[in-house]
Structure 1
Amino acid sequence: MTAVDLFCLPYAGGSAALFRPWAIDAPSGIAVTAVDYPGRGTRRDEPLLWDLGALVEDVILTCRRASGPFALLGHSLGGAVALEVVRELARRGEPQPVRLIVSAAGPPGTWQRPRSLARSDDAAVLAEMRRIGGTPEALLREPEILGEVLDAFRAGVEILGQMPLKPAVVLDIPVTVLGGADDHVVPVTTLSGWDATTVGAVSQTIFPGGHFFVVQHRRAVLDTVARQLRQDLLRPPAAHAVGSRPEGGEAADINAPTRRGVLA
């Protein structure tokens, strides 16, 4: 029997393929749903979304499929989208996830407004994707689908540029922050500050590797997430109201930021 549904949101230009191996490796009691955004992966026949609000609404519809407790995990751009999804659920008074898990994603206030790639030529977009990494080189050399991949990345960058820089709603759930020690896209030093987004506990775990440490260390990341989700199911509901922050609240093991990072 599934104890918690874990919805996993990919990075800009990415698809559910990033998280499909998780569904196989997930510990007992955790059902992983690898989410495809419209226009990508299994939903490639649908129009791409270029609007943050529309993408948030789409993910909320997916979250409503949960049969019980659920959690949201987002990698890079997916982490920013996941935060906005939880904020919107809180605004509406709808059921909240038991935990928000952000991977390779700095907190609001560390996000630089990216340069729009909507009108950039394919060579420029391809160069930026290669700089960030994560997309299989074989895929970038496949002319039949390269255009779709590049457009998906353009749309993801456009959505990132719409992200609010300040918390509009303070959450009341625990947040897990995952990072790569050698991530040049979202350096570890940018991961501090997630405690400003919630009155719940904030934990941080750093893994070896770069921006896509979730691929290199999939099982270790899954073990960390599973352990915390099991604890969440045993924890009584939080007493704080959404939008408030108790005095003296502190987060666990967060480093002070020294430079700003860019999600992708």
Structure 2
Amino acid sequence: MGRLPGILKASRTMKKIENYNQPYLSSLHEYDDGKDLTKYDFEADCFSSPFDDVNKRKLAYRHRAIGDKYAKGLQKILDHRMFKVWSDLYSSTDKYTDGWLSSAHKLLEEALGKSTAEPAVKSSSINCIVTSGSLVPSIAKCLLYRLDDVVSSDNVYSSWETGKLQCFKWIKERHGGPNVHFCAVGDGPEERSAASIMKWPFVKIEIRPDAPHRFPGLSLSTIHSIMDAVYQSSSKDG
């Protein structure tokens, strides 16, 4: 019971941030003056409506603090007991799903060039997540599911208000270039449609045990083959 007040306070703080959902953490970067947040009292800064420049700065502070915590990892946030409880739950879930979590993580590692399984992969590759949920809880989920070492907090996007097509456009604006290729991986019609409009290859994830594109099973070489086919076809057409 000793931890309950802290949990309730964190829940209230999270709800406040959710009320002013943003599509990505750095969306309010222009309002952040770089203030040292080491001793900043988020509970006492009266963050609330109206969502004016003053409160946008306060939200930008929160986003920066969230990004800093994410970068430090879950082990720096949870105490030893809670970290072990969550690690055991993660392992049990991974086992129950035949390695879905760990195999997906391995694929993301390979995409970044962190694995020797795909030695030709360059480290300039990045992973982005576009979620239909609100931003901060989605970032928390990425942390809980051990994605913090393969997806940076700056590359998590919330399509809650904007839609996934707009998020894809932001990703292209931020990371695009003459030799940059994109590939969308997902299981929903919205991301399929957005990828089609962007002329990106789309890999549909399925949960059927015999499906070719599921975890475990989907490999980076398969994704590369799909990307090569789409981009070579686009090159011939245009």
Please give the TM-score of this superposition, normalised by the length of structure 1: 0.29
**Structure with bigger RCO (C-alpha 8 Å, 6+ apart):** 1
Which has the higher Rg, Structure 1 or Structure 2?
2
- Compute the TM-score of the two structures, normalised by the length of structure 2: 0.31
